[in-house]
Structure 1
Amino acid sequence: MSKNKSQATIQGLAFASQLLPAIIGLGSFMLLVRATKPEILGEYIVYTTAVILFEMIKSGGLQSALVMRASTDDHQQQKTIIGSAYWLGGLISFSISVVLTILFFSGIFAQNAGIQIFCGWYAVLGIVTLPLHIAEAEAVAKQDLKFLLFLRITQSANALIIAFYAFLKEGSLEEFATVHLLFNVCLLIFVLIFKKTNPLNIKFKTLTEVKALFNLIKYTLATLATTNVLKSADTFLIGSIMGASSVAKYAIPLKLTELFEIPLRSLSTTAFPQLAAKHNEKDYPAFQKTLVQYLSWSYLLYIPGLLFAFVFAPYLVLIIGGKQYADTTPIFRVFILFGLLLPINRMTGICLDALQLPNKNFIKVLIMAIVNIIADLLALYLTHDLAWVAFASVINAIIGATLGWWMLDKTGRLQNTNILKEIIDYCKEFIGKMRQKLVSSPKQ
């Protein structure tokens, strides 16, 4: 019983670490939409999209590798792993900063304000955020979900401050980017003061551990980079072909779509370490049981939620974007189909990473990215309709789910059973237990 309560507490904190920042982010976005002109909003979205892309390239693979390597009780080994991560991450960060500084002063992107400002500001921001990402990875590895919750809520407050700044002063893209940078500097100082990470662990780095991290990172990094190119392609292509105002228009249903990912992100936070542990123990029946459990939980949450979103789509769009973006409802309804395929697509990718087969996951995501870019270009040039651009994401989700499941099955780690039937049986059993509790509770 205590074990179940402990698991429920962990899952609750993981869910809160995704839900609360998302609520803050959504509120910030709603305020920003109403406080800025579509042109500035579009430029800011291009800037933040580029930041997210490069943050994943710089630190995403490193975080996954740290979780896999640092999940140990050997404190000296943890210092070696974290120090090696700082050395490798620092090398990547400084290299990116040098290239971006050159691009900024060359003025090659002067006609694209979002990218130009990104090149200048991220050259500094990328170095500042490295310790924050390592602190986050340490928290996941140690299952320090209270700090993880604090960190994610605090990071999401950045967007809220920018939104209030825009509301009070309107502001420019340069001012928004400066507020973003200064906030991260303050957060870094706080994290270092409270010793949630220690960059000085770099003195414990070893060449062997750097190589081990790099071997894990090289495919995971490529996968994350390709995944974010997949997510960012729509924004960059729409901005290049249709302009910043169209980016702002597309961002309204896209922001609503991000809400679909909240339950899945929280489930992923706890699923990945558990699946990795089952693989390390060579306990593949338990690995499959964990996969079935998490997929079942996902669809128990998703199916009613997506039905609600489809029915009330016009009202949801109106709440988020206001009357000027009310015509984006059809785009949002297309994204709901994408949401239905998210759990199986995400969970198969997590399983491949947990099995330490990131190369397989990379191939899957690369194929998806290529298809997405081609489909986006066809939609933009042939129709100039943003709903068809959104439909490209549905095609990608179908490809990702199918390809991911096929790759997972080919590993031979799953038992020769009907997993779909297991998921349905688990859901029926879960619903039955909940119904029984509801019926019996009044009598008690």
Structure 2
Amino acid sequence: MPNLKKLVNKHTISLATSAAMPVIGMLVLSLMAHNLPAADFGNYIFLLITILLADTFRNGFVQTSLIKFYAGTSKKKTFEVAGSAWYVGLLQAGVFVAVDAVVYLVYRSKSADAETTIQWFGIIYMTTLPAAIASYILQAEEKFGRMLILQVINQGLFLAFILTLIFAHKLSFQTAVYAYFAGSAITSLLTIFNGWAKVRTLKYRTKETISKLAHFGKFSVGTSISSYLLRSSDTFIIKIMFNPALLAVYYIPQRLMEVFEIPMRAGVATAMPELSAAVHKDNETEVASIMKRYAGMLTVTLIPIAVVAFLIAGPVITILFGKQYMDTEAVNIFRLFMCYVMLMPIDRFFGITLDIINKPHLNMLKVILMLVVNVAGDFIGIFIFHSLYAVAIASLFTFFAGAIFGYWALKKHLHFTIKDIFSLGYAELKSIVTHLLEKSKTEKTEV
């Protein structure tokens, strides 16, 4: 078992990093919703979704492949990987910017806000590249403290600019776009000047490494896009098959599920560099152990939380979203979601482990299978039961399909059992809790 103190520190900082972005982001969205006209806020959301969709391509194409080939290698190799990742990232961003420029020159909209979105999308996307590369490198180097600083600077600057615009009574869609650009530009410049982005490694790129990153990235992009479609498929189907008002009812429990995504993202961010380093050492036993440890620890942690959430679903939804949703399907849909929370860590870690052991095509197939099961299950369930509950129940079959396929695919390459995941996860969590309790007692004694 790795050094417990170091492991606890990594988990704590990674959890804080994973929580910082959604928490500050939610605060910014709340401020903008209260201070922007509905049309301006809608335009900003459209720009944000467009940028996030483009980021899905970049993260899929560059992030996972950089971490896989960077972590646990020699200094010379890290320079080659970082430089090659910069080259791939610039090419990919260049394609998006070129398409955006063509659309801007050809498309003529009667809406000034639509033109602003098209005009600034390419600029903002290229501006965010250095900060994105820096965050990937910091994750590969397991420098989670610096990742946290980077997230806080990026989101904190944007929050500060929005607050300034609100107090000056200058907030509009246009000025919000300028604030987004300014925050991204300053953050990226900081990562370049302090060396976190390692832009100078661009000269160490090699054709062989660029080819490896691109080959791996094409499958990783497929996984990312399929995951995006998987997350969005329920929304599109409900909008087509039901009254649009029911979309909000289903969206509420979906949004609450983001709480469970925070520890998941933290666990994945911490585990990926460890898995990559173990793969580079050609140590299959260690790879399996890391996968079991993180998947099991998160599963054991989330099960009691899911049970409590199941019991207090009604009051939580009423407090957060109002009494009008207390007697809707939202409460029971959230309870149905709690029934498959225990599958989420196992499914996620089966996927990233397939990526790291250089089987990204199998992870892509896993997500595509889940997408097919989800869409088919939604339509079949709605046809038979004519209810939103059918959509929620289909999600249960979706995660079962992903976990079963991931288990089958990984068993061909690693030796483990489902029992191992739970037992090792429980032992790891028990050790961490014991360590924290002993540390707390020691601090009280010293005081």
> For 1:316-355, what aligned pairs fall within 5 Å after superposition?
316-322=316-322, 327=328, 328-355=330-357
Q: How far apart, CA to CA, are the structure 2 residues paired with 1:318 and 1:158? A: 33
Which AA in structure 2 matches 1:196?
W
CA contact (8 A) 2:296 2:346 kept: no
Aligned to 1:145: 144
> Residues 191-223 of structure 1, C-alpha deviation per residue, up to 9 Å, x if partnerless?
223221143432332212211211221211221
Q: How far apart, CA to CA, are the structure 2 residues paired with 1:73 and 1:104? A: 43
Deviating more after overlay: 375-384 vs 142-151: 375-384
Aligned to 1:62: 62
Instruction: Give unpaired runs (5+ residues) of structure 2.
Output: none
Aligned to 2:290: 290
**CA shift at 1:103, angstroms?**
3.7
Aligned to 2:314: 314
**CA shift at 1:428, angstroms?**
6.5
Instruction: Give unpaired runs (5+ residues) of structure 1.
Output: none
Q: What is the DSSP-based 3-state SS (H/G/I as helix, E as strand, rest coil) of the residue aligned with 1:60?
A: helix
Q: How far apart, CA to CA, are the structure 1 residues paired with 2:374 and 2:108? A: 26
TM-score by length of 1: 0.82
Deviating more after overlay: 276-285 vs 398-407: 276-285
Aligned to 1:406: 408
CA contact (8 A) 1:47 1:117 kept: no
TM-score by length of 2: 0.82
Q: How far apart, CA to CA, are the structure 2 residues paired with 1:345 and 1:110? A: 46
**CA shift at 1:146, angstroms?**
1.2
Aligned to 2:130: 131
Q: What is the DSSP-based 3-state SS (H/G/I as helix, E as strand, rest coil) of the residue aligned with 1:223?
A: helix
**CA shift at 1:433, angstroms?**
9.2
**CA shift at 1:188, angstroms?**
1.4
Q: How far apart, CA to CA, are the structure 2 residues paired with 1:173 and 1:334? A: 38
**CA shift at 1:174, angstroms?**
5.1
Instruction: Establish whether residue 427 from structure 1 lines up as the match of residue 429 from structure 2.
Output: no
Q: How far apart, CA to CA, are the structure 1 residues paired with 2:369 and 2:186? A: 40
Which AA in structure 2 matches 1:313?
A
**CA shift at 1:429, angstroms?**
8.2
Aligned to 1:220: 220
Deviating more after overlay: 325-334 vs 52-61: 325-334
Q: How far apart, CA to CA, are the structure 2 residues paired with 1:108 and 1:383? A: 45
Change (3 A) 1:252 1:13: same
Change (3 A) 1:272 1:287: same
Q: What is the DSSP-based 3-state SS (H/G/I as helix, E as strand, rest coil) of the residue aligned with 1:196?
A: coil
CA contact (8 A) 2:124 2:181 kept: yes
Which AA in structure 1 matches 2:308?
F
Deviating more after overlay: 392-401 vs 419-428: 419-428
Q: What is the DSSP-based 3-state SS (H/G/I as helix, E as strand, rest coil) of the residue aligned with 1:259?
A: helix
Percentage of identical aligned residues:
24
Q: How far apart, CA to CA, are the structure 1 residues paired with 2:235 and 2:178? A: 22
RMSD: 4.0
Instruction: Establish whether residue 369 from structure 1 lines up as the match of residue 371 from structure 2.
Output: yes
Aligned to 1:122: 121
**CA shift at 1:270, angstroms?**
1.8
Which AA in structure 2 matches 1:367?
L
CA contact (8 A) 2:293 2:421 kept: no
The size of the alignment, in residue pairs, is 439
Change (3 A) 1:220 1:160: same
Q: What is the DSSP-based 3-state SS (H/G/I as helix, E as strand, rest coil) of the residue aligned with 1:137?
A: helix
**CA shift at 1:48, angstroms?**
3.0
Aligned to 1:256: 256
CA contact (8 A) 2:62 2:217 kept: yes
**CA shift at 1:363, angstroms?**
0.7
Q: How far apart, CA to CA, are the structure 1 residues paired with 2:150 and 2:248? A: 28
Deviating more after overlay: 21-30 vs 303-312: 21-30
